[in-house]
A and B are shown apart, each in its own frame.
Chain A
Amino acid sequence: MAPLEDLERDYPIIDSNFRMFCASHGIFTDTDFLLHDLSALEAFARQDYAPDKLEQGIKQMISIIESGQRPWLNGVELLEDSQLNKCTLSTGCEGIDILLQGGLREGHVTELVGPSCSARNSLGKVVYFDTGNSFSPKRVAQFLSLLSDPSATQTNKAVERDMSSIVCHSVFDIFTLLDMLRQLMNNLRSQISFQVRMLIIDSLSSLIAPVLGGGGAHGHALMATAGFLLKEIAHESNLCVVVTNHMVAGEAGMLKPALGESWKSIPHVRLLLSGKYSATGTRITILKHPYLASGKSADFVVL
Chain B
Amino acid sequence: MTSAFSWIAADETAEQALVRIYKKRPFLIFPPPFHRLPLRAGNVVEIVGPSPSAKTLILIQAAINCILPKEWKGVSYGGLERAVLFIDLDCRFDVSSISRALQRRIIDANGLRRSSLKGNGNEYDKELFVSSMRRFLYTRCYNSFEFLATLKTLHHRIQQEKGGSAVYMLLIDSIGAFYWMDRALPTSSTGNNNNRKSLSLQTVVETVVQEIQRLLVAHPMLVLATKSAAFGDKQSITEVIRKRPDEKMPDPRDAQNKPHRCFMPSVWQSFVSHRMLLRALDGESKHQNRPTFSTEWLLPPLNCSDHFTVNDVWICSVRIASIFFIANLIVSSFAAGLSLDPQMKCRRKCSAVTKR
Contacts and interface: CB of A to CB of B under 8 A. Distances in A.
Given A265-B228, A290-B97, A225 B181 contact: yes
B203 A68 contact: no
A70 interface: yes
A75 B94 contact: no
Interface string B134-170: 1111111111011011101100110000000000000
B197 A65 contact: no
B184 interface: yes
Contact of A31 (B91, B95, B199): B199
Interface residues of B, number: 71
B148 A26 contact: no
A252 B197 CA distance: 47
Contact of B240 (A26, A217, A252): A252
Nearest to B85: A72
Nearest to B239: A251
Contact of A262 (B146, B157, B180): B180
A265 B51 contact: yes
Given A75-B134, A217-B180, A35 B91 contact: no
Given A39-B214, A66-B153, A79-B95, A287 B52 contact: yes
Interface in B181-205: 181, 183-184, 194-197, 199, 203-204
A217 B145 CA distance: 19
Interface stretch (A48-56, A112-120, A291-299): A291-299
25 contacts: A28-B196, A34-B152, A34-B207, A69-B146, A69-B150, A69-B153, A70-B146, A71-B139, A72-B137, A74-B136, A76-B130, A82-B94, A82-B96, A251-B236, A261-B51, A261-B230, A267-B92, A268-B94, A288-B51, A288-B52, A290-B56, A290-B94, A290-B97, A294-B290, A295-B290
Interface of B: 50-52, 56, 85, 90-100, 130, 132-143, 145-146, 148-150, 152-153, 156-157, 174, 177-178, 180-181, 183-184, 194-197, 199, 203-204, 207, 210, 214, 228, 230, 233, 236-237, 239-240, 243, 245, 289-291, 310-313
